[in-house]
Amino acid sequence: MAILERHDTGRVAHLRMNTPEKLNALSDAMLEELRQAMETLRDDDGIGAVILSGEGKAFCAGHDLKEMQAGRQAEDGGAAYFADLFKRCSAVMRAIRTLPQPVIAMPHGIATAAGCQLVATCDMAVAATGTRFGVNGVNIGLFCSTPMVALSRNITRKQAFEMLTTGQFIETDRAIDLGLINRAVPHDQLQDATMELAETVASKLSAAVKIGKEAFYNQIEMPVDEAYAYTGDVMVQNMMLRDTEEGIRAFIEKRPPDWAQ
């Protein structure tokens, strides 16, 4: 049985982490499967949106601590292994961010440490009501420094710092207020609600969404004047697409667009 399953429905790809006995921890094998999945999806023009979920009672409990402890057995105490591990994990997070298709996290149960990082990294998130989120490494003496990168780019600095330094969990109502997730629904509605959002996104012009996603993350790090100059150029690029011209013409003529996708 695959530790990362993929099921496609129309233009939506659903990736499901499938090691429930480990709470879908980001083991070496899981990170590699996620990396390969992102590489495959990057060139899949038939997919317009991606859902990421976890099997069992949790979305993802972060890194595999047993593997990390085993890494300490090396002569250097694990320093080289740990450096490589965090490099590989960060590469997966960057791959999600740079994927042309929007990625929607579908957390339930718990999303802790690097699992919370996954939620924060995804472009959107629909959670089961009552899901608990935390960057709780500090509770075992390991500050969640790499998860902090994604978390602090989703929620306000003071709220992020409180979560990081207390190790306390927040639930879905608070996660919505802070901007970590888009919405929460009862668990029995989670699949349908997430798929509805994914199908809506996937129905849009893929080329426009790809351009827009890249621009969204680029401009958000820029000063305002630079961001406007950059996004103006991006809109020119978008306007020059044949399918954008068709979309505008179809709107004016009050008919569905005839897009090539």
| 116 and 31, same domain (yes or no) | yes
Report if residue 224 sits inside a domain.
yes
Report if residue 260 sits inside a domain.
no
| 192 and 210, same domain (yes or no) | no
Residue 261 is predicted with a pLDDT of: 66
Report if residue 80 sits inside a domain.
yes
**C-alpha angle 54-56-59 in degrees, rounded to nearest 5:** 35
Residue 18 is predicted with a pLDDT of: 98
| 210 and 171, same domain (yes or no) | no
| 168 and 227, same domain (yes or no) | no
CATH number of the structural domain spanning residue 90 = 3.90.226.10
| 178 and 142, same domain (yes or no) | yes
Taking only the tens of pLDDT, the chain with its 261 residues reads: 899 999 999 999 999 999 999 999 999 999 999 999 999 999 999 999 999 999 999 999 999 999 999 988 888 988 999 999 999 999 999 999 999 999 999 999 999 999 999 999 999 999 999 999 999 999 999 999 999 999 999 999 999 999 999 999 999 999 999 999 999 999 999 999 999 999 999 999 999 999 999 999 999 999 999 999 999 999 999 999 999 999 999 999 999 999 886
Residue 75 is predicted with a pLDDT of: 87
Residue 101 is predicted with a pLDDT of: 98
| 148 and 248, same domain (yes or no) | no
| 115 and 179, same domain (yes or no) | yes
Give me the number of domains the chain comprises: 2
Phi first, then psi, for residue 127 (nearest 5°) are: -115, 155
For the purposes of burial, counting CB atoms within 10 Å of the CB of 75, is it exposed (0-12), middle (13-18) or buried (19 or more)? exposed
Identify the CA nearest to 68 among candidates 55, 60, 77, 59: 77
| 14 and 78, same domain (yes or no) | yes
The answer to whether the beta carbons of residues 152 and 160 sit under 8 Å apart is yes
Residue 116 is predicted with a pLDDT of: 98
Q: In whole angstroms, how far apart are CA 125 and each of 52, 95, 213, 248?
A: 9, 17, 15, 30
Report if residue 258 sits inside a domain.
no
The answer to whether the beta carbons of residues 67 and 27 sit under 8 Å apart is yes
Report if residue 241 sits inside a domain.
yes
| 172 and 237, same domain (yes or no) | no
Identify the CA nearest to 106 among candidates 44, 40, 172: 172
Q: 0.85 cut: is pTM over it? A: yes
| 158 and 237, same domain (yes or no) | no
Domain that holds residue 231: 206-252
| 125 and 70, same domain (yes or no) | yes
Which of 161, 180, 202 represents a domain boundary (last residue)? 202
Secondary structure letter of residue 59 according to DSSP: S
| 170 and 85, same domain (yes or no) | yes
Residue 260 is predicted with a pLDDT of: 81
